[in-house]
């Protein structure tokens, strides 16, 4: 069960973590700085915004400073598209900024991080040169967290099956880049506007997750819009792109019998983040 943030017993949680996603960091951008990114498309409860690429690195830097000073989570997960074009220099700078976090940080590869390689050749990408791996898992306070990058192949799906099976007794959080489930608005965007939002092998991944009853939370990015859906007892949550205005990230607090979510928002790259509740 996931509940929205309230003022109750903030310090009684087991652990907390932050999700950021879709920073699309890009050094060479010729537009004027601090241009406001406005909503350009809205469908139902989903809205899509222009990205503030001119300030992509400063947005990430300001977010990291805020997380360090105000939130101090147990760890941070970046759910992909760290960079806009997968360039080696952009990936290295992004890694240097993430290294300024005072908590452990975990990232995964998004489609934009693959440079010009097709998904069948992602093993040659700059992302692996800088961040080293596409899939892995770790533990925190009795919970198991699984990280799987974009476009998983057969070997990675077999690894996922084994990893979940070996940790089936623990509550599990699964993080990836593309959506695995969605709603009508997201389906409409993919089918009618031909914007790929869903993982190509989403059905296979969903079946694997369903075979592990202790999967509690599935995180994703990519769709650049806040989204939450409960399906078969699992909560699927996607956080909006940090690079777009309003700049947003999510704080999760894990309690004994629930998970709470708090959305943090800044309206320009220079603003301080304001705490807001999710309003799906």
Supply the pLDDT for residue 199. Answer: 81
Least confident stretch, 35-44, 124-133, 148-157, 220-229:
35-44
Mean pLDDT comparison of 24-28, 155-159, 179-183, highest-scoring range: 155-159
For residues 17 and 162, the answer to whether their CB atoms sit within 8 Å is: no
Largest CA distance in the chain: 52
Six-digit token string for 2 = 């996931």
Worst-scoring range by mean pLDDT, 36-40, 197-201, 246-250?
36-40
Tokens of 20: 């950021």
Taking CA atoms, 182 is separated from 14, 15, 96, 264, 266, in Å, by 29, 27, 33, 22, 26
Domain range list for the chain: 13-272
Which pLDDT tens digit goes with each residue over 81-106?
999 999 999 999 999 999 999 999 99
* End-to-end alpha carbon distance in the chain: 15
Phi and psi (nearest 5°) for 191? -75, -40
Decide if domain 13-272 falls under CATH 3.60.21.10.
yes
pTM summary value:
0.86
* Structural contact between residues 96 and 38, judged by C-beta atoms closer than 8 angstroms: no
């Amino acid at each position: 069960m996931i509940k929205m943030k309230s003022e109750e017993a903030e310090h009684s949680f087991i652990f907390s973590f932050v999700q950021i996603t879709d920073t699309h960091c890009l050094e060479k951008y010729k537009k004027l700085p601090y241009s406001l990114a406005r909503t350009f498309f809205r469908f139902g409860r989903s809205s899509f915004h222009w990205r503030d690429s001119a300030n992509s690195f400063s947005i990430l830097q300001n977010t990291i400073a805020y997380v360090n000073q105000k939130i101090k989570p147990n760890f941070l997960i970046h759910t992909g598209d760290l960079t806009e074009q997968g360039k080696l220099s952009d990936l290295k700078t992004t890694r240097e900024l993430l290294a300024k976090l005072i908590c452990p940080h975990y990232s995964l590869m998004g489609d934009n991080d693959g440079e010009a390689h097709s998904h069948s050749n992602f093993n040659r990408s700059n992302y692996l040169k800088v961040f080293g791996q596409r899939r892995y898992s770790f533990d925190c306070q009795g919970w198991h967290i699984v990280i799987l990058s974009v476009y998983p192949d057969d070997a990675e799906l077999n690894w996922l099956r084994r990893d979940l099976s070996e940790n089936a007794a623990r509550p599990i959080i699964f993080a990836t880049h593309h959506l695995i489930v969605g709603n009508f608005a997201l389906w409409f965007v993919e089918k009618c506007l031909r914007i790929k939002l869903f993982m190509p092998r989403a059905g296979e991944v969903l079946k694997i997750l369903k075979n592990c009853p202790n999967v509690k939370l599935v995180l994703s990015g990519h769709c650049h819009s806040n989204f939450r859906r409960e399906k078969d007892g699992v909560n699927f949550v996607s956080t909006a792109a940090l690079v777009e205005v309003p700049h947003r990230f999510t704080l999760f607090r894990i309690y004994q019998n629930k998970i709470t979510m708090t959305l943090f928002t800044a309206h320009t790259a220079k603003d301080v983040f304001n705490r807001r509740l999710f309003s799906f």
